[in-house]
Amino acid sequence: MLRNVWLLLRVRASVLPLTLALFLAATSIPASAGVIEPVRAKLTASEDAYVLSAEFKIELGSRLEEVVSRGVPLYFTLEFDLTRSRWYWSNEHIAGRNVSYRLAYHALTRQYRLSSGALHQNFASLADALRILGRVAAAPIVEKSALKTGETYQAALRLALDRQQLPKPFQLDAIANRDWQVEAKVLNWQFTPGTQDNSATADEKK
């Protein structure tokens, strides 16, 4: 009898560390979070202005993909900033651009709609909508006369999920739950008017 009790205690003692290890391993696995990463960007001269072209890789993560597919709209903000370095003070702001986007799913038409201001476009799949959201084509940034040829400027670009425009209950969950978080990476590069190559790739992001 005592021998059987002793064997049972030994088995439980050996199983407990293994169970604890499996539990710790499971709880340490990171949640699936999204990321918006700039792939490339370029400033080029048009007839009277410098325009921005860019491409982003967008991964919302499984939680946000489910949320938008159930009819909850998501909002995004494209942010661009152009500055000039000054040795005696902080960088001088030269130009900037902020563009807001709204992505929503309409159950009646079974389509995703991407809107920016009064403009909108419909898509059959979320992947198609995100692909267009991640493209910037010849967006005017600053008049050519505002920049000096041969002078170097600092450009910064990012596309981010605007969590402040989520419904209030989702905002609270987004703060504490990593599933709701989308990392917005920034692309920084130098822009010199009058030179041929004013592009940047993801390898240069900071």
Q: Is residue 71 part of a domain?
A: yes
At residue 20, does pLDDT exceed 70?
A: no
177 Cβ contact list (under 8 Å, min separation 6): 31, 63
Q: Is residue 110 part of a domain?
A: no
Two tokens, residue 65? 């993909």
Confidence of residue 164 (pLDDT cuts 50, 70, 90): confident
CB atoms within 10 A of CB 51: 16
pLDDT the model gives residue 197 = 65
Q: Is residue 173 part of a domain?
A: yes
The parent domain of residue 191 ranges over 35-103+135-204
Nearest residue to 53 (alpha-carbon basis) of 134, 136, 175: 136
Could you report the per-residue pLDDT of 113-141, keeping only the tens digit for each? 999 999 999 999 999 999 999 999 999 99
pLDDT the model gives residue 99 = 96
Q: Is residue 84 part of a domain?
A: yes
Q: Is residue 68 part of a domain?
A: yes
What mean pLDDT is predicted for residues 139-168?
A: 90
Residue 156 sits in a domain of what CATH number? 2.60.40.10
Confidence of residue 196 (pLDDT cuts 50, 70, 90): low
At residue 8, does pLDDT exceed 50?
A: no
Report the distance separating Cα 133 and Cα 35, nearest Å: 14
The domain total for the chain is 1
